[in-house]
Structure 1
Amino acid sequence: MRIGLFAIAGAAPLDDLVAQVRLARDTGLDSVFFGHTASWDALMTAAVAGRELPDIEVGTAIVPTYPRHPLALASQALTAQAMTGGRFTLGIGPSHPQVIEGLHGIAYERPVRHVREYLSALRPLLRGEEVDHHGETLTAVGTLDAPGATPPPVIVSALGPAMLRAAGELADGTVTTWVGADTIADHIVPSITKAAEAAGRPAPRVLAGVIVALTNDPDGVRRDLADHFGPASDFPAYRAVLDRQGLTGVHETVIVGDEETVARHLRRFEDAGATDLLISPYGDPARLLKFAAALR
């Protein structure tokens, strides 16, 4: 199982984010994936970091699809792939109604259909093919000329059965959040793998995102995270996967405790079939990343 860092492309100067990638690389991790918020662009942040720091995979997890037309995103992704020497992975997803409608003023309609149509246009564009897509949720007509660029892998944020089928059939894998090892094993991996096999596609990549804290006060960390991330528990996609796990809030999915406890829980993700573990450190990042790299 590959182990990487998950970082938000925001709340810090751009140079500091590049320094996080340097720390991850020097520590021996395999990758750094950036989440997109109302700050630095996650895709551009990954591209800049990958340009400056060779020998580590960079990617997005994820950039929202509704605000970005496939032609525009394909152009950005091919640029990032060229800038990083082929070490870029594009993670996309529909995001949530609270973000797409509340912040962007775009209707969050038929997200699974939207993602299917988006991938149907995006993947050929990344391959340099002509696209003439007129769907129910979007239109994309044209092609891109990006000399020397190779299409990057595409992963999709998917938690529910319908989105996992779309990811398995049309993408290279999925990235999850607020999901424990048991749900990776009995829901995420079987669902996306079955869909990929039925579509004649290679085995999908499954990147499991998790917040990790080395601490002697697990309950205190969970309280802090409940205060910080509590509203996310009411996002429909997160609420559904939390209910599947019998959990009340996203703070209950974090992995906290001493070194032995954390190591035991992290290893369960490999047993569950995750191909990658994306760690979001809570506390001392350097200590946590060195600890995680040692588990490899």
Structure 2
Amino acid sequence: MRFGLHTGYWSAGPPPGVAEAVQMADKLGLDSVWTAEAYGSDAFTPLSWWGASTSRVRLGTAVAQMYARTPTATAMAALTLDHLSGGRMVLGLGASGPQVVEGWYGQPFRRPLARTREFVDIVRQVVARERVQYDGTFFQLPLPAPGPDAGPYAPTGLGRALHSTVRPLRPEIPIHLAAEGPKNVALAGEIADGWLPLFYAPRLDDELRAPLEEGLARRSGARSPREDFEVCATVPIVIRDDVEEAADQVRPFLALYIGGMGAKGANFHLEAVARLGYREVCDDVQRLYLDGRRAEAAAAIPLELVRDVALVGTLTQVVAGMAAWESTAVTTMLFQADEQTLRALASAPGLLG
């Protein structure tokens, strides 16, 4: 089992203490550091800024939203950061959901799995420094010449098939997919180099890994070997003497994702948690959250749900809880934790050494 640090996305501004936590992760020999984006801060800028003070950890986006950039622009950012970091870039991609995609990016959220497949194909063409040509449902590169009845906003037809001016540092940059629904998880196993689950419960490992195995069975020989496939799960960690007090630090995070990170009837995070056996809890939390009763929504999160997807309690309890993850499909635990928590974990004999 490897360990990493997930810094998340910003709320009102740059979160205090993250730069120090990133440096601590590098000093402790953690495997990776990851950043995220929603509809405020982006994923690439903090990763490059904080990553510049590191020398060992891999630098990953968890996740860069695919509707935020074209595939070629995404590949450009990844190529650039891979060079600047000496080959430490991991490109984590995600589709987000209809609220953000249509409300923030102004694009229709349709057939996200098919679009993801095309997106990844084009990113890989760029990284391989191929002349990019693609005739897909969602992406056409170059854009075709307009027909005789084309309107005033039709393409000129002057586009050229181009390859990157930059020679990639590596022939491949690892691509991980954030996935929650079974079909999306299977797609990650089929076409990606890793899966980024957000809510993973070790007690349901057999059920959660089943769609991944389905996708891995369809894997092409041209992709990296399945034994190198990574599963990097985000795991909130809070160390307190009182377990309920520790859980209270995680409950607002869960309430936000279950209740507010998606429209009613189209919240993928809610469905992911519901599949863990918490359908009634999710329905209650969403109702309270959408009614503006956010504190009550957080209070409705039971301790057992927190313990399913996070590690909370004393240092001894947290370290003991990690044993349940060892036999799962997860290869890397991405700690959602501050510098003080990392220091505490480092004090546990043999854990991070």
TM over 0.5: yes
Query: Structure 1: which 5+ residue stretches go unaligned?
Result: none
Is 1:135 aligned to residue 143 of structure 2? no
Q: Percent identity?
A: 26
1:163: how far off? Answer: 0.8
CA–CA distance in 1 between the matches of 2:240 and 2:323? 18
Q: Which amino acid aligns with 2:343?
A: R
Q: For the aligned residues, what is the CA RMSD?
A: 2.5
Residues 244, 13 of structure 1: alpha-carbon distance in 2 compared, 3 angstrom cutoff: closer
**Conservation of the 8 A alpha-carbon contact between 2:238 and 2:247:** no
| Structure with greater Cα Rg | 2
1:273 paired with 2:274, answer: no
1:213 Cα deviation (Å)?
0.9
Quick check: 1:214–1:283 contact (8 Å CA) kept in 2?
no
Does residue 173 (structure 1) correspond to residue 194 (structure 2)? The answer is: yes
Residue of structure 1 equivalent to 2:250: 225
Q: Provide the C-alpha distance between the structure 1 equivalents of 2:56 and 2:325, rounded to a whole number of angstroms.
A: 25
Q: How far is the alpha carbon of 1:126 from its aligned partner?
A: 1.5
Q: Does 1:100 align with 2:101?
A: yes
- In the other structure, the counterpart of 1:147 is 167
Q: Deviations over 1:73-119 (max 9, x none)?
A: 00110001001000110100101222222333322211111111111
Greater helix content: 1
Note closer, same or farther for the CA distance 1:288–1:61 as it changes in structure 2 (3 Å cut).
Answer: farther
Residue 238 of structure 1 corresponds to which residue in structure 2? 269
Matched, 1:206 2:225: no
1 CA distance for matches of 2:239 and 2:320?
Answer: 13
Q: How much has 1:26 moved relative to structure 2?
A: 1.5
SS at match of 1:156: strand
Distance 1:223 1:53, change over 3 A: closer
One-letter amino acid of the structure 1 residue matched with residue 272 of structure 2: V
Q: Tell me if structure 2 keeps the 8 A contact 1:215–1:256.
A: yes
Letter in 2 for 1:55: R
Q: Which amino acid aligns with 1:197?
A: A
TM-score (norm 1): 0.89
Distance 1:99 1:193, change over 3 A: same
CA deviations 1:243-283 (Å, max 9, x no partner) are 21112357633221122321222222221121111010269
Matched, 1:285 2:285: no
Give the distance between the partners of 1:273 and 1:33, measured in 2 at CA: 20
Give the C-alpha shift of residue 178 in structure 1. Answer: 1.9
Residue in structure 2 matched with residue 261 of structure 1 by the alignment = 317
CA distance in 2, matches of 1:282, 1:263: 16
CA contact (8 A) 1:27 1:293 kept: no
Q: Secondary structure at the match of 2:52?
A: helix
CA gap 1:205/1:73 in 2 versus in 1, 3 angstroms: same
Equivalent residue for 1:197, pick from 209, 217, 238: 217
Alignment TM-score, normalising by the size of structure 2: 0.76
Give unpaired runs (5+ residues) of structure 2: 143-161, 283-300
Secondary structure at 1:92 match in 2: strand
- Matched AA of 1:167: A
The alpha-carbon deviation at position 59 of structure 1 amounts to 0.9
Cα separation, partners in 2 of 1:182 and 1:130, compared to 1, 3 Å:
farther
Stretch of structure 1 that moved more, 126-135 or 11-20: 11-20
2:196 and 2:318 map into 1 onto residues whose CA distance is 21
Change (3 A) 1:272 1:22: same
Q: What pairs with 1:61-100 in structure 2 (closer than 5 Å)? A: 61-100=62-101
Alignment of 1:45-56 (within 5 A): 45-56=46-57
Partner of 1:18: 19
Number of equivalenced pairs: 295
Q: Deviation at 1:222?
A: 3.1
Question: Residue type of the partner of 2:271?
Answer: A
